[in-house]
Amino acid sequence: MNIAGYKIKLEKKTSFSGLEAAALSVLAVVVALFLVGFIFLQAGVDPAKGYAEIFSYAFINSFGVPLTINRAIFLLLCTFAFILPMRAGLWNIGMAGQLYAGALAAFGVAYAFGARTNPDVPAGIVLPLMILAAMAGGGLMGLIPGFLKGKFNTNEIVVTMMLNFIAFWVTAHMIKEGGPFMGSGGEGEGFKLPPVLQPGLFLGMPFTIWFALGLTALLQFVFTKTRIGYEIRSFGASPAAARYAGVDPFKISVLVFVAGGVIAGLAGYHYFATVPGLFKIPKNYGDFGDLAFYGIICGLISQGNPLAAIPLAVLFGGLTSGGRFVQGKLQLGFGIDYAMLGVLMIILVAFQFFFRYRVVFKKEKEA
């Protein structure tokens, strides 16, 4: 193509710098948010005002900020659950199912100690057990696609998606219509944890933030400094070459999915058992499963980099909580956060192209 004496060419990238990747990621987010602005326009809201409302609620308002933090921790955990398999070239879209499983296991421990009816359970034992159970529940849920992928090469996308629905309905069974975890209100939600099992806040934040930050450091270390991290990355880059170099595909697949599931299980524990005002599996638990899909967005934009995932989790935690808020305030339709999810995803897909190609402008030589 020729424009104004310049020849425009596409060149395949052989390498690109971290800075270039970061710039492209930021650009992708900006383009997506710009497009979402048209949704505001179509709903009769000035996009600048809409975004101003969203950001001020999410990052300044004293009601919004804690909500943003809770969601950011949740999203960061979901992102890690996604990027562990992603670095190995595998797709975990089963964060929703894994976090339901984690939450069910955690509340199962509380239930086993009689916390549903007895407010005086030994918190020093039950609380740690709940956390371990959440990790085990999520991990077991992750083991299924990991084992099947490693052993039979079963398509992990379909399996994790099916498990999402299975866990969704099992949760409904447990908390609704006389299920064992049903709350006393009879409103189709889970029982509430007694006060001794409600962990306090640390600087206004759930203590699970330490899990999220600790895992950031751990994953960064594993990916960059350890042999297993190297094996995961090389398997992701080229399964055939990695196998030739002695990497065991079964081990990698089981490992990344179980570890991802464990982290997603923690995300379930985090939202349902440590966020003030909840302390139960709520009626609308499905919304949190949907929110978990933002983990895919954060994972793809961060290119699987755990450190880069932090600002993204904060941004999308804020955008989704603020989005919910402006819906009510500016009379937007329901689901602006869902619309944003869709637009972000498709823009990211389009931007893949720029990660592989470089647009070059060359001055045409005088004939």
Partner 1 sequence: MWEFWVRSLNASTIFTVAALGEIIGQRAGIMNVGVEGAMLFGATISFIVTKTTGSYLLGFLAGIAVGALIGLLHAFFSVTLGGDQVVNGMGIWILGFGLTAYIGYPYTGPLGLPRLPAINGLSPFFLLSLLLAAGIWFFLFKTHAGLKLRSVGENPSVAEVSGINVVRTRYASVMFSGALMGLAGSIYALDYNPVWNYNFLMGWGFIALALVFFSMWNPFLLLGGSILFGALWQVSLNPEALLPNIFSRYIWRTFPFVITVIVLILMSTKWFSSRWGAARPEALGLPYEK
Site residues (CB under 8 A) for partner 1?
A: 39, 91, 93, 144, 148, 152-155, 157-159, 161-166, 169-170, 172-173, 176-177, 179, 290, 293, 296-297, 300, 333-336, 338-343, 345-346, 348-350, 352-353, 356
Whole-number minimum distance, CB 277 to partner 1, in Å? 24
- Separation between Cα atoms, residue 79 and residue 191, nearest integer Å: 28
Q: Which amino acid is at 340?
A: M
Roughly how many angstroms between the first and final C-alpha of the chain, as a whole number? Answer: 17
Contacts of 184 (CB under 8 A, 6+ apart): 191
Find the shortest distance in angstroms from Cβ 105 to partner 1: 17
Q: Please state, in angstroms and rounded to a whole number, the distance separating the CA atoms of residues 187 and 180.
A: 14
Q: For residues 34 and 210, which CB has a smaller minimum distance to partner 1 in the complex?
A: 34
Nearer of residues 222 and 332 to partner 1, judged by Cβ:
332
Pick the closest to residue 86 from 249, 304, 312 (CA basis).
Answer: 304
3-state secondary structure of 4: coil
Q: How many CB atoms lie within 10 A of CB 191?
A: 21
- Residue for token digits 């206004």? 204
Distance separating alpha carbons of residues 93 and 85, to the nearest angstrom: 10
DSSP state string for 163-194? HHHHHHHHHHHHHSTT-TTB-TT-SS-BPPPP
Nearer to partner 1, 221 or 334 (CB): 334
Nearer to partner 1, 286 or 311 (CB): 286
Instruction: Name the minimum Å distance from CB 201 to partner 1.
Output: 32
Q: How far is the CB of 334 from partner 1 (least distance, A)?
A: 4
Helix (H, G, I), strand (E, B) or coil at 202: strand
Q: Measured from the CB atom, is 263 or 344 closer to partner 1?
A: 344
| Residue closer to partner 1 (CB basis): 73 or 163 | 163
Beta carbon nearer to partner 1, 208 or 320: 320
Least distance (Å) between residue 329 CB and partner 1: 17
Instruction: For 117-150, give one letter per residue: b (16+ CB within 10 A) or e.
Output: eeeebebeebbebbbebbbbbbbbbbebbbbbbb
The distance of closest approach from Cβ of residue 144 to partner 1 in the complex, given in angstroms and rounded to an integer, is 8
Q: Choose between 222 and 326: whose C-beta lies nearer to partner 1.
A: 326
Q: Do 260 and 144 touch, CB atoms closer than 8 A?
A: no
The tokens describing 58, both together, are 């999410």
- Please state the closest distance from residue 168 (CB atom) to partner 1, in A: 8
Nearest distance in Å: CB 324, partner 1 = 13
